[in-house]
Amino acid sequence: MALKPTIYKVDLQLADTNRNCYEQCTLTVAQHPSETLQRMMVRILVFGLNYHQDLSFTKGLSSSDEPELWQIGPDGQIEHWIELGQASPDRIRKAVSRAPKITLYAYGSDADIWWQKQGADLAALPKVSVSQFDSAEVDQLEQFVSRNMSLSLSITDDELYLSDAEHHLSLNVKELA
């Protein structure tokens, strides 16, 4: 019998001063059985970083031909393809043929090693931007997890401030390419 995803309800108060974007988002986030809590929380952060009314979560880990998030335009075309983790250049190359904008957010304790190996190939791809979350900061995201989350995310320059009623965390996003 296949394991079912765990469903989380998230109220996200977003204040992105970089884009002059202030939104209250109500999200339903499904955590795949093989997905870590940190990865799920990174998806929520990335949603806030790239907020658009047409941005949505996809099947993610359940589908090999979809990113974690994407923005689909009114004409049904993919406008923004957003990947998480340490994707291969081959996977991102496929995305380049499907969308005019591709963003990859790397994280994890070995992300620096991954970037040393894959960075030149990824940076050479057109329409692709790559950013990295600090591993130690991502490890702290688990403290925010509950089945019903009320989160505040403020974004200024490359710094994110995440808080709830009990916790506060500052995270940096470093642009790699």
- The pLDDT value recorded for residue 124 is 97
**pLDDT higher than 70, residue 63:** no
For residues 144-152, give the mean pLDDT.
98
Q: Is residue 162 assigned to a domain?
A: yes
Q: Is residue 1 assigned to a domain?
A: no
Q: Is residue 52 assigned to a domain?
A: yes
pTM for this entry? 0.95
Q: Is residue 74 assigned to a domain?
A: yes
Q: Is residue 167 assigned to a domain?
A: yes
What's the structural domain count of the chain?
1
Q: Is residue 129 assigned to a domain?
A: yes
Give the rounded percent of residues in the chain with a pLDDT score beyond 90.
93
Q: Is residue 121 assigned to a domain?
A: yes
Closest CA to 130 of 157, 111, 150: 111
Q: Is residue 28 assigned to a domain?
A: yes
User: Residues 41, 43, 47, 53: is their CA dihedral positive or negative?
Assistant: negative
Domain residues for the domain of 18 are 7-175
- The pLDDT value recorded for residue 61 is 58
Give the rounded percent of residues in the chain with a pLDDT score beyond 70.
97
Closest CA to 175 of 121, 126, 131: 131
pLDDT of 132-144, one tens digit each?
999 999 999 999 9
- The pLDDT value recorded for residue 157 is 93
Contact yes or no for 31/8 (Cβ under 8 A):
yes
CATH number at residue 42: 3.10.640.10
